[in-house]
Amino acid sequence: MIKEVLAISGKPGLYRLVSRGANMLIVESLDEQKKRMPAYASDRVVAVAEISIYTDDGEDTPLVRVFDSIKKEYEGKEVDINHKKADNDEVITFFAKVLPNYDTERVRVSDMRKVIAWYNILVRAGITDFELPEQKEEENKE
């Protein structure tokens, strides 16, 4: 399910892939409005499952792992921090709790705010399974 969730550069929120057309994708917003619209090849569209966060150890952490860490911290509920109004220190403290080894030089507070906002959007939309199919297969093998 998380593989179908997309972020579109320049557009707020997250979108679900509905269909593929000629030279475009049909996407639906994950908010309450469920508005459908085309995303063209000129739009920078990226799957949330492909996004990662810089860390100190040189390995980037997939965003879905950060979401999973937030889910465990908040027991699957929405984050109670207002990503727009919270002061920077509160956001940084929260992010350090869910991803202690994030790269303080390269991860900006605006990125942290977006992670909080996206996590809350996903929880409201009922998407709380943040494991990728590949991760599940690896766990089953062990």
Q: CA 116, CA 134: separation in Å to the nearest integer? A: 25
Residue 136 has pLDDT above 80, yes or no: no
Q: What is the CATH number of domain 51-132?
A: 1.10.10.1650
Residue extents of the structural domains in the chain: 2-48, 51-132
Residue 103 has pLDDT above 90, yes or no: yes
pLDDT digits (tens, 9 = 90+) for 47-86: 999 999 999 988 899 999 999 999 999 988 999 999 999 9
Residue 104 has pLDDT above 60, yes or no: yes
Mean pLDDT over each residue of the chain, to the nearest integer: 88
What average pLDDT does this structure show over 114-119?
Answer: 94
2-48 and 51-132 share one fold: no
Percent of the chain with pLDDT over 70: 92
Q: CA 140, CA 65: separation in Å to the nearest integer? A: 18
Instruction: Give the pLDDT band (50/70/90) at residue 7.
Output: very high
pTM: 0.87
Strand arrangement, sheet containing 24-29: 36-40, 24-29, 15-21, 5-8, 45-47
DSSP E strand stretches across the chain: 5-8, 15-21, 24-29, 36-40, 45-47, 52-53, 61-62
The pLDDT, as a whole number, for residue 58 is: 82
Identify the residue with better confidence: 137 or 85: 85
The pLDDT, as a whole number, for residue 45 is: 92
The pLDDT, as a whole number, for residue 57 is: 87
* 119, amino acid identity: Y
Residue 132 has pLDDT above 60, yes or no: yes
Identify the residue with better confidence: 21 or 104: 104
Q: Which CATH architecture has domain 2-48?
A: Roll (2.30)
